[in-house]
Amino acid sequence: MSSSHDDERRVRRITRPRRKRTRPKSKTIAPRRLTREEIRVQQELRDFDYQKPRSRSDCRHGLRPCPFVSCKYHLYLDVKESGAIKINFPDLDVWELEETCALDVAERGGVTLEEVGEIMNLTRERIRQIEVHGLIKLQMHEESGLLEEYLD
């Protein structure tokens, strides 16, 4: 076969220039990488007594930025099942975030993939993948009838 024939058979790939990240990538800290001082502080914080909101109605009109970074809806950090801590905005402190609660963003509605990506420090493509995965899960539950109790 000739090389010109091979060139014709190749599929052309259209590439767009990659956009530069506007923020530093999130940082994950494995539990085994914590220093002794960090472990000591973590143990002290577990014993700290404070009133964390138990429901959305408890926090809807609370302080913003939300001081409860341990809440699963807080956007500053995520705690993985393995115990790893993912800091979504390593270049910012909690009080510097424009949005700190995912539930506030969801209530407001009308947010584009780009805006969600900015809020969560993820790429637009990753947000799209998460959306598709969630829609597939909803379809599976819809087919099994598990969601019927939530309908009006």
CA distance 57 to 64: 15
118 within a domain of the structure (yes/no): no
Per-residue pLDDT reduced to its tens digit, 12-65: 556 666 666 677 888 888 888 778 887 787 777 766 667 778 788 888 888 888
* Burial of residue 76, with CB atoms counted within 10 A of its CB: 0-12 exposed, 13-18 middle, 19 or more buried: buried
- Note the pLDDT of residue 75: 92
Task: Count structural domains, the chain.
Answer: 1
Q: Is-above-0.85 flag for pTM?
A: no
For residue 66, give its domain range. Answer: 21-101
86 within a domain of the structure (yes/no): yes
88 within a domain of the structure (yes/no): yes
